[in-house]
Chain A
Amino acid sequence: MAYTPIIPLLLALVLAGCSLEPVKPWQRDLLAQPSMQLDPAPVDSYLDGHIYFSKEAASGGAGIGGGGCGCN
């Protein structure tokens, strides 16, 4: 099993976040846009998730609790 050094990676990200100029509450207008959400089109990602779950060996990542079909 090849575990990649993910925990150090996560920590590096947090630290990177800290070292940047902090985003002020009034600067969140862009982040509030629907297109900036992590999953802006849940139906598309749900359907894609289903397709790739049934066609590929790898699954998961963006969220948990996918699957649920006999297609794999």
Chain B
Amino acid sequence: MQLKHDKGALRRTLALAACALAGGSHPASAASQPWSLDSAVLFYNEVDRVSVVEPVVFAKRELADGGSLGLHGLFDTMSGASPNGAVASNRTQTFTSPSGNSTYSAAPGATPMRSFRDQRLGVGLDWMHPLGRLLRSNLSATLSSETDYFSLGLGDTLSLDSADRLTTWSLGAALSLDQVQAEGGAPDALTLLSAPATAGGGGDESKTVTELQLGLTQVLTRSALLQANLAVAQHSGYLTDPYKILSVVDASGATVDYRYEKRPDSRQSQVAYIKWVQHLDEDVFHLSYRYYSDDWGIDAHTLELNYRYELGGGRYLMPHIRAYTQTAADFHRYFLVQGEALPSAASADLRLGAMDGRTLGLKYAVPAAHGGELSLRVEWLQQSGEGHPAEAFGTLRSYDLYPTLNAYIVQFGYSTPL
């Protein structure tokens, strides 16, 4: 043994090691590195439509009282084109923005798309602090700003553990106050685009969202736990998309004019969510199901599976599958017919139509220096709806009224304790 002549040194080494081990309260590793950083850059690309580049940074600090402070920031750059709600036509269609400052057009047979470019800056704060041995509060505040949109969010979730810490009940409430500052002012709902711009259409609009959530997390076995949430939300105010329109067609199905869309000024939704986390020998899967329902007539089901496959040495592969389906909002129309009575609300937004979505993804992660992790995530997602609905007639029957959306996600991630 090499330490033969080092009298007593070995003993001091052992004494120190033993002391550290027995005296330390485990787990102690988190406290020794109070800051951690989680960051990613997301590239989101829709085929022929929108592109988004989004870097995000999450920083977290463990606090001495057992709580934690989280800060996050992001900066989106969005550009590209999205469907404006109008249907394809056999003629070139030209649209003027509400301000009249710009025009754009769609070729015959093409789905009209409105080009846009925007940036979003978002920051947020999370503060988790214990209120007692089993009770804690998680306070959050977010701020998000775009050229035409501003949002302020506040929320708090109280969590109560059972004495054996196998069950956690949570109750959360959140409020979001949003301002819509549409380019050129919000247009008058359901007015014809051909009508001269009224001075009345204009100012900023606002919207309020309040949410309440009851949650339960239950440890089932040594290797399984279950989370169940029930939430309700009330959206009030300006819920319309100021840039979306509907085509007005004549008896032959030809577009003769357009109207701005209008959505109800109130929306109540309920969500039931359940998640199962299971450890299998080495791997872990997360399986979740969500049921969503609102008074706009939308019912949606979401099923999601993440399977973490350990490759050894801290590397893992994580396949991701997501399936989604929704029914249409009651006021969703593909188009309006000239001469028919005007409904109280109407929108041709594809996101409010009946639709199915699917996602396939794969994430690969490797350990980085000092306990960090590097990852690459690639996903493909698709949304498709009924392109030839029964209500289509005349020339409308020859167009795909719900063009399928394909999008790709590439995300680079890096996390590290500081």
Contacts and interface: CB of A to CB of B under 8 A. Distances in A.
A60 B230 contact: no
Nearest to B365: A41
Given A14-B167, A57-B329, A60-B231, A65 B290 contact: no
Q: How large is the interface on B (under 10, 10 to 19, 20 to 34, 35 or more residues)?
A: 35 or more
A69 B17 CA distance: 52
Contact of B326 (A2, A13, A46, A56): A56
Interface string B261-281: 000000011111111010100
Contact of A2 (B42, B288, B299): B299
Interface string A29-72: 01111011010111110110011100111111111110111101
Given A17-B167, A65-B176, A47 B155 contact: no
Nearest to A9: B228
A68 to B, nearest CB: 4
Given A4-B272, A10-B230, A31-B225, A64 B157 contact: yes
A16 B220 contact: yes
Contacts of A6: 228, 230, 272
Given A38-B277, A43-B38, A68-B153, A60 B351 contact: no
B259 interface: no
B290 A28 contact: no
Contacts of A2: 293, 299
Interface string B337-355: 0000000000000011001
Given A6-B230, A30-B222, A31-B225, A70 B42 contact: no
26 contacts: A1-B268, A1-B294, A2-B299, A14-B218, A17-B218, A17-B226, A23-B221, A27-B222, A33-B279, A33-B284, A36-B277, A38-B225, A43-B413, A52-B324, A56-B355, A58-B271, A58-B290, A61-B272, A64-B173, A64-B231, A65-B140, A65-B155, A68-B144, A68-B153, A69-B144, A70-B149
